[in-house]
């Protein structure tokens, strides 16, 4: 079959490479316009090896519209005379006119066990909510967000310390394998779709920087999940408050539940710091985490011990949002 790949960034890369090595013919690539480094990240769509560079190396035509749903976009797709559109982390919702161009419509490589976690950031939100399992679903695309019939699905366990970036790499490889399998089935006329149970659907909205702010009133395990979910972007952060000093922004990189402190100092409010053998922080229902790695604003990433050696933390010091009344 003649295929057009539509995607950008790290998650889409394995699928694009798998299509190029398959028995099918890739006739074009649609990818996001080139961006200034760091601009409009919000995910790994703007990071990692460039699909465009791979396409150019193989003499494949590349189309980079700001909006593929325009009349110009539809015309460009029609010119490629493809049979199937293969989408992975493209970043635009496709119109019915775009999906009507190829003979077999489009399939999407989605990084969740649909119908759970429909949206732009399914990996991060699965970790944030404490899921122990996720996976990849290949769906027949429709005009509704991630709501099409499921053509294939495979589950994987989430590691207890796995970050969103680490999990994304595993799911990207799995998605590539499933995509080729489904394309082969579509070509053979054996693909079968299963409708999603929309009553079980949950949302996974696009990440923004503000999602990284740590809420210390949540439980220790929830805080740990939050920090893992925000890696590599937007990263989890908080602010160090000390008497008569301006708040200092801290990116919190790695933590674990401090079981030995659980139940101690029950009168301490969330965000209280207990410094000693490590850098400990009080969380919600009377439990604690230890910050293993962090990065103060304007400084390098360091261990909790290195931070303690370089900073004086009076008993009133605590972690909280930048603006606080206490």
Go through the domains of the chain in sequence order and give each one's CATH number: 2-200 (3.40.50.170), 209-320 (3.10.25.10)
CA distance linking residue 176 with residue 17, whole number of Å? 8
- Strand positions, DSSP E, the chain: 2-7, 25-30, 62-63, 84-88, 106-110, 133-140, 150-157, 236-241, 248-257, 273-275, 279-282, 288-296, 302-303, 318-320
Binned at pLDDT 50, 70 and 90, residue 185 comes out as very high
**Cβ–Cβ contacts within 10 Å for residue 51, how many?**
26
Cis peptide before 260 (omega within 30 of 0): no
User: Which element (helix H / strand E) includes 278?
Assistant: none
User: Under DSSP, is residue 192 helix (H, G, I), strand (E, B) or coil?
Assistant: coil
Per-residue confidence (pLDDT) for residue 45, from 0 to 100? 45
Q: Is the pLDDT of residue 291 over 80?
A: yes
Which tokens sit at 2?
A: 């003649």
CA distance linking residue 309 with residue 160, whole number of Å? 29
Average pLDDT over residues 54-83: 97
Closest CA to 67 of 40, 43, 92, 96: 92
Binned at pLDDT 50, 70 and 90, residue 326 comes out as very low
Per-residue confidence (pLDDT) for residue 286, from 0 to 100? 80
CA distance linking residue 81 with residue 212, whole number of Å? 43
Closest CA to 260 of 219, 290, 234, 216: 290
For helices 13-21 and 164-188, give the axis angle rounded to 10 degrees. Answer: 30
User: Which element (helix H / strand E) includes 182?
Assistant: helix 164-188
State the number of CA atoms in the 13 A half-sphere of 195 facing the CB.
3
Query: What single-letter DSSP state applies at residue 180?
Result: H
pLDDT per position as a tens digit, 219-277: 999 999 999 999 999 999 999 999 999 999 999 999 999 987 766 666 789 999 998 88
Q: Is the pLDDT of residue 26 over 80?
A: yes
CA distance linking residue 149 with residue 48, whole number of Å? 30
Backbone angles phi, psi at 193, to 5 degrees: -100, 150
């Amino acid at each position: 079959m003649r295929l057009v790949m539509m995607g950008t960034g790290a998650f889409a890369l394995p699928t694009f490479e798998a299509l190029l090595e398959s028995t099918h013919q890739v006739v074009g690539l649609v990818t996001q316009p080139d961006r200034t480094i760091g601009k409009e990240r919000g995910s790994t769509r703007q990071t990692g090896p460039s699909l465009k560079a791979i396409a150019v190396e193989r003499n494949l035509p590349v189309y980079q519209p700001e909006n593929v749903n325009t009349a110009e976009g539809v015309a460009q797709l029609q010119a490629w005379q493809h049979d199937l559109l293969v989408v992975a982390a493209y970043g635009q919702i496709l119109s019915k006119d775009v999906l009507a161009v190829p003979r077999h419509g489009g399939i999407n490589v989605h990084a969740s066990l649909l119908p759970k976690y429909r949206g732009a950031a399914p990996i991060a939100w699965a970790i944030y909510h404490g899921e122990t399992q996720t996976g990849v679903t290949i769906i027949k695309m429709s005009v509704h967000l991630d709501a099409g019939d499921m053509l294939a699905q495979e589950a994987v366990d989430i590691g207890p310390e796995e970050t969103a970036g680490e999990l994304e790499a595993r799911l990207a490889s799995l998605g590539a394998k499933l995509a080729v399998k489904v394309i082969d089935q579509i070509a053979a006329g054996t693909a079968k779709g299963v409708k999603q149970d929309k009553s079980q659907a949950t949302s996974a909205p696009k990440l923004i920087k503000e999602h990284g702010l740590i809420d210390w009133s949540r439980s220790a395990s929830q805080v740990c999940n939050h920090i893992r979910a925000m890696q590599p972007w937007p990263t989890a952060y908080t602010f160090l408050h000390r008497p008569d000093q301006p708040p200092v922004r801290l990116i919190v990189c790695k933590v674990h539940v401090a079981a030995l402190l659980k139940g101690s100092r029950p009168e301490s409010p969330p965000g209280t710091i207990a410094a000693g053998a490590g850098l400990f922080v009080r969380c919600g229902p009377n439990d604690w985490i230890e910050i293993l790695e962090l990065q103060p604003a304007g400084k390098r990433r360091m261990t909790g011990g290195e931070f303690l050696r370089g900073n004086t933390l009076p008993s009133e010091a605590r972690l909280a949002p930048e603006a606080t009344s206490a």
